[in-house]
Amino acid sequence: KVLENRLVDMIRHGSENSVTTNRLLQWAAGLHLEHDPAVLPQKICDDIRDQFMVPQAALRVWGVAPHHADAPFVRGVSNDTKSFASSLATLYCGMHVNVEALRWLDEPLLAASLALIPLRDPGKPGAAAFGLLVLASPDASRYQDDMATDYLEHIGRLASAALTRLLAPAADRQSDAGQPA
């Protein structure tokens, strides 16, 4: 009976993973089909909410090309948040923490659990973060520090790859790194 229950659980988990993988592929295809880079930050957040049923999502990007400097997805990022994002060796999942990025959410007081995903150039391992993606839920158990994060990591890499189209050339980003937001 125990083995039967384990087999049923494995089949259920496999089915859930298949659904999530299909959603991830559909989301990735939508990112590739978007031709206007300036639309991507909002599209990423909207699609994550819709595809993955995430109650709240927000992101910010820094080091952008000059023609994106006044976009909403650039505003409200301090040097402390930039440093914090770069200091994350991996994404953060857990209870609500008091970080500036919460203010980017529509309803920050409803964020009981968070996933904070640093955005980095996927072609440059170990590079400093150029953005931060925030996923939030009123369910305190949605994002936990002991959960598997494979799909969240994939979301971070795909979002990062798409958003690199917004960035200034690397030399310009280096000289802008110490400038206040």
Residue 7 has pLDDT above 60, yes or no: yes
pLDDT at residue number 180: 46
User: Phi, psi (5° rounding) for residue 111?
Assistant: -85, 95
pLDDT for res 17: 73
Task: Reduce the DSSP state of residue 32 to 3 states and report it.
Answer: helix
Q: For residues 20-34, give the mean pLDDT.
A: 90
The DSSP secondary-structure symbol of 68 reads G
pLDDT score recorded for residue 172:
55
CA neighbor of 65 nearest in space, from 130, 112, 154, 152: 130
Which pLDDT value is given to residue 170? 67
Provide the pLDDT for residue 124.
Answer: 84
Q: Inform me whether the pLDDT recorded for 169 exceeds 90.
A: no
Token pair of 14 as six digits: 């496999």
pLDDT score, position 175:
45
Distances (CA, A) of 167 to 87, 119, 122, 130, 176: 20, 12, 13, 8, 12
Nearest-angstrom CA–CA distance, 59 and 44: 9
**pLDDT per position as a tens digit, 35-91:** 999 999 999 999 999 999 999 999 999 999 999 999 999 998 999 999 999 999 999
Of residues 175 and 73, the one with the higher pLDDT is 73
pLDDT of residue 15: 66
Give this prediction's pTM: 0.85
- Report the greatest alpha carbon distance in the chain: 64
User: pLDDT: is 15 or 133 the higher one?
Assistant: 133
Q: pLDDT-derived band of residue 20, with 50, 70 and 90 as boundaries?
A: confident
